[in-house]
C-alpha cells in the first residue's frame, strides 16, 4: 500500500483530484481534510493560506501513475506530493484495498 499526502487550494480541488483518480481506478479511497492553515515562503513572500489536505491510498504498483496524475490535475505550480509506505496495515483493509 502507498499513502499520498497532498495539500490542495480548496475542498473542490481536492474532491476533483480524488474523483478523477477513483474513476481511473488508480486509488482505492481518499480522505479530504478541511481547515488546514499553511505557512510557507513562495517567490520570496510569506504565505499564510487555508488549504485542504488530500490523503490517498493506492496499491504500490499504481504509485507512479497517481503521482503523475496529481501533478497534471493540481492547480499549484509546485504541488507538495509526499508518498509514504505504511509499516503495517490491518489485513482486512489491505485485502479491501487490493480488491479495489
* Long-range pairs for 37-46: beta carbons < 8 A, 24 or more residues apart: 38/7
**pLDDT range class, residue 100, cuts 50, 70, 90:** confident
Give tens-digit pLDDT for 14-41.
999 999 999 999 999 999 999 999 999 9
Q: In the prediction, which pLDDT does 44 show?
A: 96
Q: Are 54 and 4 in contact (CB under 8 A)?
A: yes
37-70 confidence digits (pLDDT tens): 999 999 999 999 999 999 999 999 999 999 999 9
Is residue 81 pLDDT above 90, yes or no?
Answer: yes
Report yes or no: 97 and 9 within 8 Å, Cβ to Cβ: no
| Architecture of the domain spanning 2-99 | 2-Layer Sandwich (3.30)
pTM for this prediction: 0.93
Give the rounded distance of the alpha carbon of 84 from its chain centre: 11
Whole-angstrom distance, CA of residue 26 vs CA of residue 56: 10
Amino acid at each position: 500500500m502507498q499513502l499520498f499526502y497532498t495539500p490542495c487550494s480548496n475542498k473542490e480541488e481536492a474532491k476533483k483530484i480524488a474523483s478523477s483518480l477513483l474513476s481511473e481506478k488508480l486509488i482505492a479511497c481518499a480522505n479530504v481534510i478541511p481547515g488546514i492553515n499553511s505557512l510557507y515562503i513562495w517567490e520570496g513572500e510569506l504565505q499564510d493560506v487555508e488549504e485542504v489536505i488530500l490523503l490517498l491510498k493506492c496499491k504500490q504498483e499504481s504509485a507512479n501513475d497517481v503521482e503523475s496524475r496529481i501533478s497534471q490535475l493540481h492547480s499549484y505550480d509546485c504541488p507538495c506530493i509526499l508518498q509514504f509506505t505504511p509499516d503495517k496495515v490491518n489485513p482486512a483493509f489491505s485485502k479491501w484495498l487490493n480488491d479495489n
